[in-house]
Structure 1
Amino acid sequence: MTAEALITDALVPLRPTDTGEEALGIMNEFYIRHLPVVDDQELKAVISEDDILNADALEPVSSYRLPSQPPAVFPDDHVYDVMRLLVEYKLTVVPVINREGDYIGMVTNEDLLRFFAESSTFRDPGSIVILEMGRHDYSLAEIARIVEGDGAVILSSFVNTFQDTNRTEVTIKVNSQNIGATLATFERFNYKVKASFNEKQLQDSLRERYDSLMNYLNV
């Protein structure tokens, strides 16, 4: 999936003549904290809610001092590039531009979240396993071989490395809810199983948290 496929139709960029107050109105309506500023199809800046609150909201956004090289992605960039910019710059929208720097559209954090939520990785039933190992011991091929050896398939995997140690954490989702044999095989191959959850456990956990929240709100 590329950035172009996630461009929203609901939002339009700001013009340099738009005021900070107008920008805040759009941000409040769509629950975002950033908007691109576009002049004659050229992406000029990405303005944040803080930029406006620290200035005069009645002035046009062109009068604000904003970085001249706003973060953006190209249409054929992967959604992971969109996610990287969202996290790195703490954005709620990421502009999409062509190779000439012309503005094409924007992707919101809600668009990205919806994409992942609707993907088969999250929709398909299965189980989650969290493994821990040495950084040099990580091999997705071997992990897949163990899972497939027990008749299951890996639906997705996420790798997290810890900077201050040589440890790596691997989270996988498999398409089976009966993973007892797989967990035993991992331990037999000296993998540390930090946690595992099947679909029912995940649903029970979410229900428990929901009930706790409702009880708190009713107090």
Structure 2
Amino acid sequence: MLAFDYISKDFIPPKIYQTVEHGLHLVREYGLKHLPVFEGLHFVGNISRESLEENDLDTPLSELRDFIEYFYATENGSLLDAIQNFHQNDTNILVVLNQEQHYIGFLMMDDVISGISTMPFITEPGAIMVVEVAQKQFSISEIAKIAESNNARIVGLFVTGYTEDKVRIGLKLIAENLASVGETFERFNYSVIYKFFNDEKEELMKDRYDMLMKFLDV
């Protein structure tokens, strides 16, 4: 779960004194949305690809300080922290800094998603069920009891949506009878929103996983 395990080091970020032309070469070669820039060992910030494309090739990056966006990942951060960072900043690269704020590598969004895709919540056979319940009733222990009362085993659980009134939960279940699990949830005032059967059609599950990721509020 640590972002540190997915750090790459085959990218040398540019220095603030280098040119827009050099920066554009890097973002195009690596397919980046942002370009991290350094001044010595000091992290200056990120310049978007659009900002680079709007300036002359011989312009020093130092003249684009007004376009700097300051975001990064820490070496001890989690994969979920990284996904939130990618989403909030609409980027596909995160510089990783240590406690001294020195560069130790970078994360690419595709690598982080690949890391999450190897977790049991995704890889274990079974089915995914998304349920919704009143916030005041939300209880992980109750959810576990409902599943276990139907001889189902929970492989993973995510809170995928949260409002003042409702909580939406994604469950990965191994169960012989998913219908009975859903019926029991409904008897306990849960609304069953989705049922995804990955043990029946693997290709369908891959499509549904993409849809489920849209509900993850990270």
- TM-score category of the 2 structures, normalised to the smaller one: 0.7 to 0.9
- AA in 2 matched with 1:91: T
Report the identity percentage: 25
Q: Distance in 1 between matches of 2:140 and 2:34?
A: 38
Q: Distance in 1 between matches of 2:206 and 2:103?
A: 43
- 1:147-189 Cα offsets, whole Å, 9 max, x none, are 12323322222213354x5122111111336412211211221
Q: How far is the alpha carbon of 1:112 from its aligned partner?
A: 0.8
- AA in 2 matched with 1:84: Q
Partner secondary structure for residue 158 of structure 2: strand
CA RMSD of aligned residues (A): 2.4
Partner secondary structure for residue 185 of structure 1: helix
Q: How far is the alpha carbon of 1:52 from its aligned partner?
A: 0.6
Partner secondary structure for residue 50 of structure 1: helix
Q: How far is the alpha carbon of 1:143 from its aligned partner?
A: 0.7
Q: Quick check: 1:74–1:96 contact (8 Å CA) kept in 2?
A: yes
1:171–1:63: structure 2 CA closer, same or farther, 3 Å change rule? same
Q: How far is the alpha carbon of 1:68 from its aligned partner?
A: 6.3
- Mark the runs of 5 or more structure 1 residues left unpaired by the alignment: 210-219
Asked if 1:203 corresponds to 2:205, the answer is: no
1:52–1:177: structure 2 CA closer, same or farther, 3 Å change rule? farther
1:167–1:102: structure 2 CA closer, same or farther, 3 Å change rule? same
Q: Which runs of structure 2 are paired with 1:144-183 in the superposition (5 Å)?
A: 144-163=144-163, 166-176=165-175, 178-183=177-182
Q: Quick check: 1:33–1:91 contact (8 Å CA) kept in 2?
A: yes
Q: Distance in 2 between matches of 1:79 and 1:145?
A: 29
Q: How far is the alpha carbon of 1:81 from its aligned partner?
A: 1.6
1:66–1:122: structure 2 CA closer, same or farther, 3 Å change rule? farther
- AA in 1 matched with 2:72: A
Q: Distance in 2 between matches of 1:122 and 1:179?
A: 17
Q: Quick check: 1:8–1:111 contact (8 Å CA) kept in 2?
A: no
- 1:33-53 Cα offsets, whole Å, 9 max, x none, are 112112222211112101212
Asked if 1:62 corresponds to 2:40, the answer is: no
Q: Quick check: 1:34–1:46 contact (8 Å CA) kept in 2?
A: yes
Q: Distance in 2 between matches of 1:206 and 1:161?
A: 20
- Mark the runs of 5 or more structure 2 residues left unpaired by the alignment: 209-218
1:200–1:46: structure 2 CA closer, same or farther, 3 Å change rule? same
Q: Distance in 2 between matches of 1:183 and 1:99?
A: 47
Asked if 1:33 corresponds to 2:33, the answer is: yes
1:98–1:176: structure 2 CA closer, same or farther, 3 Å change rule? same
Q: Distance in 2 between matches of 1:9 and 1:142?
A: 45
Q: Distance in 2 between matches of 1:65 and 1:20?
A: 12
Q: Which runs of structure 2 are paired with 1:1-12 in the superposition (5 Å)?
A: 1-12=1-12
Calculate the TM-score normalised by the size of structure 1: 0.83
